Amino acid sequence: RVKDGATGLEKLVLRAAHGCSVEVYLYGGQVIFWENEYREQLLFVSRKASFKPPKAIRGGIQICFPQFGNHGVLEQHGFARNRLWSVDESPPPFPATASNCHIDLILKQSPEVLKIWPHSFEFRLRVALSPTGDLMLTSRIKNTNADGKPFKFRLSYHTYFLVSDISEVRIEGLETLDYLDNLQSEDRRTEQGDAVVFESEVDKVYLSAPPKIVIIDHDKKRTFELRKEGLPDVVLWNPWDMKAKTIPDFAEEEYKRMLCVGAANVEKPITLRPGEEWQGRQEISVVPSSYSSGQ
């Protein structure tokens, strides 16, 4: 646990034996850096990102909870991404994973949050690196309301992937799915054609997506494989040039080097009764460039 010299924020650093590393900020419970064994950065962070609360950090993996986007009455993407999380010193046992290289964080109710979301909860986040360098985020959310009230939540791992050129990126696994389009008024559309490619602004939620999708960066000869459990949907966002100009903590040309993709539940919020706990996860691997889901 160290204080980051540049941002002044506290972070935890995970280093796996083969040289991969991950940095997680307590602020937002946010993974900010993920490096492979060749010291290559795999996540995007804007050069204009603000590290001053209450602004969420533009990049890495944002935890959007208990709301996604404007699907609810809370602030955009909920409050978890701009709160201070704590280290969970004695987490209850997590289901076995191949990794013992992990960080456990927790976000609980606070008087400040209670004013905007009148529920008591425990959100446990485990960030783990597998022996082969996969990045695994497991969330466990528990309703600890003493008054017998259930609550509903949405969640997204809003992951800013670093790509070399957005026009050379393709996603496989989303074709033929229904989606909600934030840029269109109609409610539900169906993806046509083959893999998803990028030529303009995109702001979509793919519904009931398969447990695995791949993000192929032709230029960088790199493929990310994203696997998910417990989270049916996949969010996809790139502001492109015009929208980028309106985002103060994002440099206009940066849209070419990033793509937000994340496991989520957006269409159907999850309901938890007091005492109930929900679990979901997202795992990302970097696989050889020749990879294609069709092979």
Binding-site residues sit at 58, 76, 81
Nearer to ligand BG6, 183 or 287 (CB): 183
**Three-state DSSP class for residue 134:** coil
Task: Compare residues 104 and 157 and give the one whose CB is closer to ligand BG6.
Answer: 157
Indicate the SS3 state at residue 241. Answer: helix
The binding site for substrate comprises 58, 76, 81
Pairwise CA distance, residues 142 & 105, whole Å:
14
Contact criterion met (CB below 8 Å) for 227 and 212: yes
Smallest gap from Cβ 147 to ligand BG6, in A, equals 31
The binding site for ligand BG6 (CB under 6 A) comprises 56, 69, 76-77, 158, 182, 203, 235, 237, 260
Contacts of 133 (CB under 8 A, 6+ apart): 16, 18, 20, 36, 37, 285, 286
Cα distance between residue 30 and residue 89, in whole Å: 18
- Residue 143 CB, shortest distance to ligand BG6, in Å, is 25
Nearest distance from C-beta of residue 212 to ligand BG6, angstroms: 21
Q: Across the strands, what pairs with 84?
A: 27
Structure tokens at 52: 């001053």
- Residue 146 CB, shortest distance to ligand BG6, in Å, is 32
For residues 28 and 280, which CB has a smaller minimum distance to ligand BG6 in the complex?
Answer: 28
CB 237 within 8 A of CB 266: no
Q: Which is nearer to ligand BG6, 128 or 180 (CB)?
A: 180
User: Least CB distance from residue 253 to ligand BG6, whole Å?
Assistant: 17
Residue placing its CB nearer to ligand BG6 in the complex, 77 or 256: 77
Which DSSP symbol is given to 81? G
What single string gives the DSSP state of each residue in 185-223?
SSS-EE--SSSEE-SS-EEEEESS--SEEEEEETTTTEE
